[in-house]
Amino acid sequence: MADHSKVGKEYPAVTWEVERGKIRELVRAIGDFDPVYVDRNVAVKEGYKDCPASPTFLTVPMMWSSSMPGVITDLAINFMMVLHGEEEYEYYQEIYPGDVITATPRVAAIEEKINKSGKKMDMVTIELLYLNQRGEKVARARSLLVERK
Amino acid sequence: MAKQIYFEDINVGTEMPKLVKSPLVKLQHVIYAGASGDFNPLHVDDDFAKAVGMKDGVIAHGMLIMGFVGQAITSWISKKDLKRFGVRFAGMTRPGNSITVTGKVIEKKTHGGLNLITCEVTAVDETGDVKVTGSFDAALPTKG
């Protein structure tokens, strides 16, 4: 079960250089063929500086950096029993190719709940505030992990 | 590509254009795993998925379905106008499921100089089984 003593703990920062190809690869995997994500001219015409990252792009630095698996291990959560319950992003500005974004994962909350079938679950909330290479806030991400017990 | 939507175009009850996705295939799980970096075998390895209790094998990444919802949103509202987007993963999605995303505006207000809308979104499969529920906020320009 999740280690409740670790509420408030911060983990090593995730730093990620945003590549144009990764923005394209993610939208292609989703099957989103909006040219704004892949064609700089279209993006500029629509008022962007370059192709913006798509709304769920921030999953990429979390997963490819292995940050989230590391957090799950440190919290003593059973990998076999964990489900992704919720995900939320607040967007402060666009993320563009060449940006270097950094975030510090923090355990915001761990709560025990009982589901409809009467089984205990731990609800673990991880929050990250992403800054860019200029130190500006770009986005906040909140993940709720559900560990069945 | 989203055509610009203005605050005046939207009212409480306005529906987001529906997005209907092709049925999921296992290959898409593999492509999404590579793109996102989420290599949990639950999404790509039937033997593993069965061993952890998924009797029909692999399930799709929840974040892939959130990606479909994001696609539906930014096909309607410009990405740059999207200020918050959150979902709850309500059900598991399997190969063969065809996801439809719908949404409806539930709030419209002017606050702190911004023209804000809040919209509820839902992703269901071909039987109507709910996979994702959520909402987003957007700050829209005005025509004036």
Sole residue written with tokens 């023209």: B115
Residues of A in contact with B89 (CB under 8 A): 83-87
Please, what is the average pLDDT of chain A? 93
CATH fold group of domain B9-139: Thiol Ester Dehydrase; Chain A (3.10.129)
DSSP letters, B8-24, are GG--TTPEEEEEEPPPP
Q: A135 in a domain, yes or no? A: yes
Residue owning tokens 């039987």: B127
Residue spans of beta strands (DSSP E) within chain A: 14-17, 82-91, 100-103, 106-114, 120-131, 137-148
Find which of B20, B71, B83, B136 to mutate to test the A interface (most A CBs within 10 Å of its CB): B71
pLDDT at res. B92: 94
Residue A67 has pLDDT above 90, yes or no: no
The tokens describing B55, both together, are 């009797």
Residue A75 counted as domain residue: yes
Residue A26 lies in a domain: no
CATH of the domain at A87: 3.10.129.10
In the structure, what pLDDT confidence band is assigned to residue A93 with cuts at 50, 70 and 90?
A: very high
Q: What is the mean pLDDT of residues B52-65?
A: 94
Q: What is the pLDDT of residues B95-113, one digit of tens each?
A: 999 999 999 999 999 998 8
Q: How many distinct structural domains can be found in chain A?
A: 1
Please say if the pLDDT value at position B58 is more than 80.
yes
Q: Is A118 domain-assigned?
A: yes
What is the Cα–Cα distance from A72 to A75, expressed in whole angstroms? 5
Q: Contact B10/B105 with Cβ under 8 angstroms?
A: yes
ipTM of the complex: 0.95
Residue A63 and residue B36: Cβ atoms within 8 Å? Answer: yes
For the segment B23-52, the average pLDDT, to the nearest whole number, is 95
The answer to the question of residue A83 being in a domain is yes
Residues of B in contact with A52 (CB under 8 A): 79-80
Q: What is the pLDDT of residues B75-89, one digit of tens each?
A: 999 999 999 999 999
| Alpha-carbon torsion angle A24, B43, A14, A18, nearest 10 | 0
- Cβ separation of B80 and A47 shorter than 8 Å? yes
Name chain A contacts of B71, Cβ cutoff 8 Å.
27, 30-32, 34, 54
Residue A36 lies in a domain: no
Residue pair A2/A147 in contact (Cβ under 8 Å)? The answer is: yes
More confident residue, A22 or A3: A22
Going by pLDDT thresholds of 50, 70 and 90, the confidence category of residue A54 is very high
Distance of alpha carbon B40 from alpha carbon B45, whole angstroms: 9
pTM of the model: 0.95
**Mutation for testing the B interface, residue in A30, A79, A94 having most B CBs under 10 Å:** A30
Asked if the structure places residue A38 within a domain, the reply is: no
Model confidence at A115, pLDDT cuts 50, 70, 90, reads confident
The secondary structure of B101-144, three-state, reads EEEEEEEEEEECCEEEEEEEEEEECCCCCEEEEEEEEEECCCCC
Q: What range does the domain containing A84 cover?
A: 4-18+52-148
Which residue stretches of A31-92 are H helix? 40-45, 59-64, 67-74
Whether A55 contacts B79, CB under 8 Å: yes
